[in-house]
Amino acid sequence: MPQRGERLLRSRRSKLERLIERGVDPFPARFHRTHTTAEAVALFTAAEAADPSAAPTATVAGRISRMRGMGKATFVDIDDSGGRLQLFLRQDALGEGYALLDDLDLGDFVGASGALTRTKAGEVSLAVEALSVLAKALRPPPEKFHGLRDVEQRYRQRYLDLIANRDVHDVMRTRSRIISAVRRFFDERGFLEVDTPVLVPVPAGAMAEPFVTEHRALDRRLYLRIATELYLKRLIVGGMDKVYELGRVFRNEGIDANHNPEFTMLESYEAYADYEDVMRFLETMIPAVALEATGGTTVSFDGHELDLTAPWPRIRLHEAVHEHSGIDLDDYPDAAALADRMRQANVAATYAESRGRLIDKLVGVFVEPKLIQPTFLVDYPTEMSPLAKASAADPRYTERFEAFAGGMEIANAFSELNDPDVQRQRLEEQEALRKRYQGEELDRLDEDFLLALEHGMPPTGGLGLGIDRLVMLLTGSTTIRDVLLFPQVREPGPAAGKTTDA
């Protein structure tokens, strides 16, 4: 138990005890409300329009967010998930019931019934005839005027953030609508939503460090998936022509404004489509989702107005890098030469980095921050795209694109490589690069996946879409933590001063 602030808790405890002594159950099992606070306000405004003296009755429930005592009259604001309603309590209306107020605190849940009216100040209020406690809060809510500012506590105790900062509700509601809209978009186009394993024997399908775990009965090491890609492609092999999965993937990497170790990704695969089809699909879907979730197809993000409507410009990666950095990738076919050239341009680059990673860095430094309006960066170099089909015209590049908006990467897609021999060769290259460039994350060879490919996979267009980043974009959040209810935070250490010591 925390030593400090014990006095404040004691006050609430003694009120709790007093309620029990008075025969009041501080935690009753049920309470039937007839209206939410928003419904009650709507009920009154409608009635008032028809008859100015109307006083419809309602029973409402919520958490006390503010109390203004005036002696024999008290105003209590209660909040529920949709809104807020002012309760007006008078001793002569409540009689003995008015004394219940002595044992109520901010944060308690109450139920009240009475007639809806408009006060002198013009606020729709419930003139309470009966008041009851629904749940006593033994700890105080965050400060009512400044709200909860402590960023750490906002994430660790998100419920306090939700109590104090109503806009958090709005972001999460929008997140939910975005996910529903995305699902509907796929469902309406004949895609089947599937679930593939989270615990996998080979953490493949992306370039990322996995989380490791262990299955006891099988005595086997397993990993948390870093992507759903290879399982979904197995389904394409199996004849499920349009599939998608919306789920959590896990990457054992740093945490910052754009990264959380577990995040929600959508991957979809469509047989007989290519990356051009996927681009058209995505640039159609995003504005449709935005319209459904936010009511518009433009968003303001980090001081910019973004227009999400199709078509989005397509820029070849090679040209974008050339334009923004002055470096022509084709002049530097090997990693060492490219690293030298990058250092000339004041970009940190070493011989310990693969060519793919160096190019990725060039994109990150010179191109990505410039891509504010939705843009497709297309035709990625082969060595950084082991699962994408090479371009027939120029095998140094693949039929791959990434979509950017607000200076963030939000999607990654390609014409899927379906030649099993080429795929094996590409993944073997990844394994070789991994040995050569220690500490660099590269894709892994998954024999079982290659076996599936040998059974034949039709030409396929695949897409990976970062849902959290899409939510950031559509809610104007510049940190991923604000679109996750419970972002990863460090384990509170002993110095945090908030933990118990034996």
Partner RNA sequence: GGCCCGGUAGCUCAACCCGGCAGAGCGUCGGACUUUUAAUCCGAGCGUUGUGGGUUCGAAUCCCACCCGGGUCACCA
Q: What are phi and psi of 13, to 5 degrees?
A: -60, -45
Residue 105 found at the interface with RNA (CB under 7 A): yes
| Shortest reach from residue 367's CB to RNA, in Å | 13
How many residues touch RNA under the rule CB under 7 A: the total is: 85
Residues facing 365 on adjacent strands? none
d(CA 420, CA 101): 74
Choosing from 397, 469, 474, 476, the residue that interacts with RNA (CB under 7 A) is 469
Kind of pairing, strands 375-378 and 314-316? Answer: parallel
Residue 502 found at the interface with RNA (CB under 7 A): no
Decide whether 215 or 248 has the Cβ nearer to RNA. Answer: 248
Q: Looking only at residues 378 through 417 of this chain, which bind RNA when binding is defined by CB under 7 A?
A: 402, 409, 412
d(CA 278, CA 415): 9
Site string for RNA, 109-148 (x = CB under 7 A): --------x-xxxxx-x-x------------x-xxxxxxx
Residue 296 found at the interface with RNA (CB under 7 A): no
Decide whether 35 or 400 has the Cβ nearer to RNA. Answer: 400
Cβ pair 324, 366 in contact under 8 A: yes
Omega before residue 311 within 30° of 0, cis: yes
d(CA 97, CA 174): 41
Helix (H, G, I), strand (E, B) or coil at 243: strand
Site string for RNA, 198-237 (x = CB under 7 A): --------xxx-----------------------------
Choosing from 23, 71, 295, 303, the residue that interacts with RNA (CB under 7 A) is 71
Cβ pair 61, 137 in contact under 8 A: no
Q: For the CA atoms of the chain, what is the radius of gyration?
A: 29
Q: Looking only at residues 427 through 466 of this chain, which bind RNA when binding is defined by CB under 7 A?
A: 440-441, 466
Choosing from 17, 152, 328, 419, the residue that interacts with RNA (CB under 7 A) is 152
H/E stretch holding 300 reads: strand 298-301
Decide whether 461 or 487 has the Cβ nearer to RNA. Answer: 487
Residue 52 found at the interface with RNA (CB under 7 A): no
Q: What are the Cα distances from residue 255, in Å, to 18, 146, 153, 258, 381? A: 47, 28, 17, 8, 27
| Shortest reach from residue 497's CB to RNA, in Å | 5
Q: Looking only at residues 330 through 369 of this chain, which bind RNA when binding is defined by CB under 7 A?
A: 348, 353, 357, 360-361, 364-365
Residue 492 found at the interface with RNA (CB under 7 A): yes
d(CA 427, CA 442): 9
Helix (H, G, I), strand (E, B) or coil at 496: helix
Residue 303 found at the interface with RNA (CB under 7 A): no
Q: Looking only at residues 362 through 381 of this chain, which bind RNA when binding is defined by CB under 7 A?
A: 364-365
